[in-house]
């Protein structure tokens, strides 16, 4: 399995308030399969992860979203947390970065509250997605069909509901990349 994703580069777009396990588990899956994971964020330095609402670890940013080029990556992972996607969807560069991946037809994996960023990028109309339940109305109002499933894949768009869904989320991401 270590060579499955050899040569594949995956961007993880996250900032302060990212749900730690929703960042670390998919990253571990990519790296265990031989891929390269890079943390892209709003600013240089470190981001502060959370475990629900409590502070967790900090993670070094590899590249700012302003300097990141979607054409250099094979896929995008959007971890959740409540604050993380709320900050990201307010940043025009982050929204453009996400939109560029989706319009290029590259795999995009969003879990928990991260589909908020997909709404802001205008890429869910006509798609079937899942998310943390409180996002259902936002997604439906943006034109998506919302389903309550641990993972749903709609034409390279991978979505999941919560940390408990991480095994299925990571498997779907690896399947899309492999």
Could you tell me if 97 and 64 are in contact, meaning their C-beta atoms sit under 8 angstroms apart? no
Number of structural domains found in the chain:
1
CA 144, CA 33: separation in Å to the nearest integer?
A: 31
Q: Which residues are catalytic?
A: 112-113
pLDDT at 4: 84
Per-residue DSSP letters for 55-77? EEEEEE-SEETTT--GGG-SEEE
In this predicted structure, the answer to whether residue 59 has a pLDDT above a threshold of 80 is yes
Strand order across the beta sheet in which 36-41 lies: 63-64, 36-41, 9-13, 75-78, 108-111, 157-160, 151-154
Domain-embedded: residue 148: yes
What are the pLDDT digits (tens) for 117-168? 999 999 999 999 999 999 999 999 999 999 999 999 999 999 999 999 999 9
Start-to-end CA span in the chain (Å): 10
The boundaries of the domain holding residue 102 are 9-177
Contact present, 125 and 103 (Cβ < 8 Å): no
CATH number for position 65:
3.40.50.880
Q: What share of the chain is helix, strand, coil (3-state, %, to 5)?
A: 35, 25, 35
Q: What is the dihedral of CA 101, 105, 108, 113, to 10 degrees?
A: 80
Q: Is residue 2 part of a domain?
A: no
Q: Is residue 169 situated within a structural domain?
A: yes
Q: Is the model's pLDDT at 1 over the cut of 60?
A: no
Q: State the pTM of this model.
A: 0.97
Which tens digit of pLDDT belongs to each residue from 19-42? 999 999 999 999 999 999 999 999
């Amino acid at each position: 399995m270590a060579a499955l994703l050899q040569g594949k580069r995956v961007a993880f777009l996250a900032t302060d308030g990212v749900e730690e396990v929703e960042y670390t588990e998919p990253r571990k899956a990519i790296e265990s399969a031989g891929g390269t994971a890079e943390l892209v964020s709003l600013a240089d330095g470190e981001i502060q992860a959370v475990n629900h609402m409590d502070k967790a670890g900090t993670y070094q940013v590899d590249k700012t979203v302003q300097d990141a080029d979607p054409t250099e990556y094979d896929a995008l992972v959007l971890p959740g947390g409540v604050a993380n996607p709320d900050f990201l969807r307010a940043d025009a560069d982050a929204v453009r970065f996400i939109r560029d991946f989706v319009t290029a037809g590259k795999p995009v994996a969003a879990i928990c509250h991260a589909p908020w960023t997909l709404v802001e990028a205008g890429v869910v109309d006509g798609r079937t997605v899942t998310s943390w339940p409180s996002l259902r109305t936002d997604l439906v109002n943006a034109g998506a069909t919302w389903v309550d499933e641990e993972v749903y894949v709609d034409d390279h768009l991978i979505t999941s509901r919560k940390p408990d869904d991480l095994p299925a989320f990571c498997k779907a991401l690896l399947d899309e990349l492999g």
